[in-house]
Structure 1
Amino acid sequence: MKLSKKILISFTLGLCMNPAFADQNFFNATEISAKKGDMTAQYNLGVMYANGQGVTQNYSKAFEWYSRAAAQGDADAQYRLGLMYASGQGVTQNYSKAFEWYSKAAAQGDALVQNRLGVMYANGQGVTQNYSKAFEWYNKAAAQGDMTAQYNLGKMFEKGLGLSQNDFKAFEWYSRAAAQGDVDAQNRLGVMYANGQGVAQNYSKAFEWYSRAAAQGDATAQYNLGSMYDNGEGVTQNYSKAFHWYSKAAAQGDVDAQNNLGALYVNGQGVAQSYSKAFEWYSKAAAQGNLNAQYNLGVMYYNGDGISQSDAKAFEWFNKAAAQGHAQAKRLLETW
């Protein structure tokens, strides 16, 4: 982005100055240039208004100056206008307008915006859904090395969105994105290795990629690591390690991790046995609609495990689980 270069120069010259004074001076100089029609200054002024740098934050003013720069063809300003319209920041949310400005910036070759344009085509935001167009723009961005676009291509191939389903192609694109650090691609690569999907099954490789994604804080990868330790898949079974990773994922709201954490507490596996903790985690997962957690809550109420026994409550939770297709819950209700 042009701003980063210009601001760095300004900061270098102002090292011995009060930062607020340096910002104010830079803002004043930028404003003068912007009013004279300098396209880059107009863009930078928009950024300063958006960030409250040298001036009170004002999204409406940011929008005004981005608009002036964008009208002169500045791709960064066109992208920022697209973002503002997409998020409704400083302007009424309008996906059609976001699409319009993203299109202008993408046509100038910006990979980040090309990927965003692909997302809009894929989701039908501001434009009729068109997977072929989504694929086209993802391809352009991916060819420039954009890891998010590479991940999105992998997802299209894995799910067969607008093209023939192809696990081998999905694996190829996920690999490219994962190598650049894309956390979603790293997790999907782990899944593909675990399932032998588009590549020979390899639990060691699955563990490797889950670990990379989990280290970046990805809740799904953390759950997947917990599951590997829980079931001894590719690693020595270790309930303490399973508890560790399920806890991290559960704290981020991963519903399957919350349910499995409840099960570890019920059985005292990797942690001291605690029905109250099990009830707490089952309840969190059940509230999010997890059918297994709903069934498990029903069992706790039915048996009175750590809580007051209640056939009515047990029936309520069994019924919720059965409504989602839980086989055991259905069988229990048939004989209720």
Structure 2
Amino acid sequence: MQGTNMFLGRKKREEKFNQDYEKAYALFLQLKMRDCQAMMEPWSKKGFAKASALLCRINRIAYDMVKEGEKKEEFRQKILLYLERGAKQGDIDATFQLGKIYEFPEILNITTDMKKALYYYEQASEKEYGPALNNLGCLYHYGKGVMRDFAKAKDLYHRAAVAGEPRGYLSLAYVYMWGKGVPIDLYAAEEYLHMAKTMTEEKKFIAESENNKTEVRRYADILADAVKCSNYLESEKRSLAYRNEDGKEKENILRNLTGAAQNGDGRAQFELGLYYNDRKDYASAREWFLKAAEKGFSGAVVNLGFQYYHGKGIPKDFEKAYQHFDRAEKMNGNKTAMLMLGKMYEKGEYVKQNFEEAAKWYEKAANQGEASAAGCLAIFYEEGRDGIKQNYEKAALFYEQGVEAGLMFCESRLANLYAIGKGVKKDYNKAIDLFNLAAGKGSEYAKKRLEEVYREKNDALSKD
């Protein structure tokens, strides 16, 4: 009897909440935020996750409307409060959003905390929440806050796709296109890309029919990323065809590429620029890069920046180089542009030398998978710079990213950390393996250190 009464009491309370929620949501749509908030606050405290979610939306709108200051900080803290409350109340999306906020500090202008990001992504992933599974996969893919693990990333992307998250399929397309933990397979990449587009278009249509503007924007962003992936994939397929054909067939491919470029195909113009650039015909390369840049190809803008930076076919001009790299980064977050902006801040080329600003750009590029940037950032953390504290653990993580890409200097430097036990547990075997990799690529430093580490290992064994 008592159990029945409790059930009926709970049911009545839920019915009352649903009635209040409908009224509160109507107030929300009428922009009567204070009245809406007053109605939902008690329900949020009583454990109703939908109330917490609506309160979070109200404070997010307010946060976006005010300038930085005491009021903005108040709204920032309320957003975090309601998200944390919602997460405890079982709202999976609130849990996921907390992960995003701690991974991407620009969302709420807070300090990055990869431990918290990892924690919240894992919590949401345990419930097979697609967006969280995909973002957790990205952490393992790029080695953000965790050791890089392509196999684990691929598994998480697959789980995200199965859970109905189209970015899971898009991430799998990139895995096979770049050959991250699997052999490069452009046809598998194409198949996953097709599945990503199909699923996204279906979900976008449903979101539009429900007038869910937030989800419509999200799926539009995924479709835009799918188009970029598709363009890159077509470029890789053409490049592969060109490399694999004989001389006569290469002439036909080049003729077709030139024809497409002359007819205004931006991708073909960019590829033709690369073709002439490889052959040191910088004037022709510049001509096609300029045309491709007008079509919005950030890679073309980056290559124009390189011409100014290195003085290839034109006088060296750091100011114009910086302007081109900055433009390319603003176009679509081009990772090579981020790397070069980092280098220019590190060296003080055109801009005033600023190691903190350099580190910011290196980290952004590294998070996009730019291994050279990861290596540069690792050196900052290993040696320390003005405004950057020495941190061997972070150095090891970023060197690992460079090692995955086969960068010789990262292999040598990570090997040395294993040899001396800084940032990682001392491990002579790992040090020897990494020094061997670097030595095989011609590193004299690695060859010298290899002999020393063998001696150190033997000395340690003899003492044992």
Measured against the shorter chain, the TM-score band is 0.5 to 0.7
Cα distance, 1:269–1:79 mapped onto 2, change above 3 Å? closer
Q: 2:263 aligns to what?
A: 108
User: What is the Cα deviation at residue 113 of structure 1?
Assistant: 1.0
* Root-mean-square deviation (Å): 2.9
Percent of counterpart pairs with the same letter?
A: 31
Residues 269, 82 of structure 1: CA spacing in aligned structure 2 closer, same or farther, 3 A cutoff? Answer: closer
Would the aligned equivalents of 1:229 and 1:238 in 2 still touch at CA under 8 Å? yes
CA displacement, residues 45-98 of structure 1 (integer Å, 9 cap, x when unaligned):
xxx9xx79xxxxxxxxxxxxxxxxxxxxxxxxx999965752437x87743322
Deviation at 1:297, TM superposition (A): 1.4
2:328 maps to which of 147, 156, 177: 177
Q: Distance in 1 between matches of 2:340 and 2:236?
A: 30
Segments of structure 2 that go 5 or more residues without pairing to the other structure are: 1-186, 192-233
Q: CA deviation at 1:206?
A: 0.9
SS at match of 1:163: coil
Q: Is the 8 A contact 1:246 1:257 kept in 2?
A: yes
Q: Which residue of 1 aligns with 2:244?
A: 88
Q: TM-score, normalised by structure 2?
A: 0.46
How far the C-alpha of 1:172 sits from its partner, in A, is 1.1
- 1:116-153, Cα deviation, whole Å (9 max, x unpaired): 111111123xxxx5211111111111122210101111
1:159 to 306, 310, 316: 310
CA distance 1:228–1:141, shift in 2 (3 Å): same
Q: 2:254 corresponds to which residue? A: 99
The aligned runs of 1:214-225 (5 Å cut-off) are 214-225=366-377
Query: How far apart, in 2, do the equivalents of 1:284 and 1:84 lie?
Result: 28
User: In the superposition, relative to structure 1, how do residues 93 and 282 fare at CA in structure 2: closer, same or farther (>3 Å)?
Assistant: farther
Answer 1 or 2: which has greater helix percent. Answer: 2
2:457 is aligned, of 296, 302, 306, to 306
Deviation at 1:274, TM superposition (A): 2.3
Size of the aligned set, in residue pairs, is 230
1:1-336 equivalent positions in 2, closer than 5 A: 85-88=241-244, 94-124=249-279, 129-179=280-330, 180-233=332-385, 234-301=387-454, 304-307=455-458
Q: Distance in 2 between matches of 1:164 and 1:281?
A: 40
Q: Is the 8 A contact 1:84 1:93 kept in 2?
A: no
The residue type equivalent to 1:115 in the other structure is F
- The answer (yes or no) to whether the contact 2:382–2:391 under 8 Å persists in 1 is yes
Cα distance per residue 1:192-231 (max 9 Å; x no partner): 1111112211112211111111111221111111111111
1:9-67 CA-partner distances (Å, limit 9, x unpaired): xxxxxxxxxxxxxxxxxxxxxxxxxxxxxxxxxxxxxxx9xx79xxxxxxxxxxxxxxx
Q: Write out per-residue CA displacement over residues 300-332 of structure 1, whole angstroms, 9 at most, x where no aligned residue.
A: 34xx111489xxxxxxxxxxxxxxxxxxxxxxx
CA distance in 2, matches of 1:238, 1:214: 17
Deviations 1:239-259 (A, max 9, x none): 111111112221221111110
Structure-1-length-normalised TM-score: 0.62
User: 2:44 aligns to what?
Assistant: none
CA contact (8 A) 1:121 1:130 kept: yes
Structure 1: runs of 5 or more not aligned: 1-47, 53-77, 310-336
Q: Give the distance between the partners of 2:235 and 2:424, measured in 1 at CA.
A: 50
4+ aligned runs moved over 3 Å, structure 1: 78-85, 91-95
Q: In 2, distance between residues paired with 1:187 and 1:110? A: 28
| Cα separation, partners in 2 of 1:288 and 1:81, compared to 1, 3 Å | closer
Matching residue's letter, 2:242:
A
Counterpart amino acid of residue 121 in structure 1:
Y
- CA distance, structure 1, for counterparts of residue 342 and residue 249 of structure 2: 37
The whole-number CA distance in structure 1 between the counterparts of 2:374 and 2:249 is: 36
| Aligned-residue offset at 1:276 | 2.1
| 2:235–2:267 contact (8 Å) kept in structure 1 | no
User: Helix, strand or coil: the match of 2:457?
Assistant: coil
Task: Please report how far the alpha carbon of residue 106 of structure 1 lies from its aligned counterpart in structure 2 after TM superposition.
Answer: 0.9
- Alpha carbons of structure 1 residues 79 and 102: separation in structure 2 relative to 1, 3 Å: farther
> Is 1:282–1:293's contact at 8 Å kept on the other side of the alignment?
yes
1:152-199 CA distance string (max 9 Å, x none):
111111111111111211111111112222111211111111111122
Instruction: Check whether the contact 2:414–2:434 (CA below 8 A) recurs between aligned residues.
Output: yes
1-structure distance, mates of 2:442, 2:285: 32
Structure 1 CA distance for aligned equivalents of residues 399 and 336 of structure 2: 18
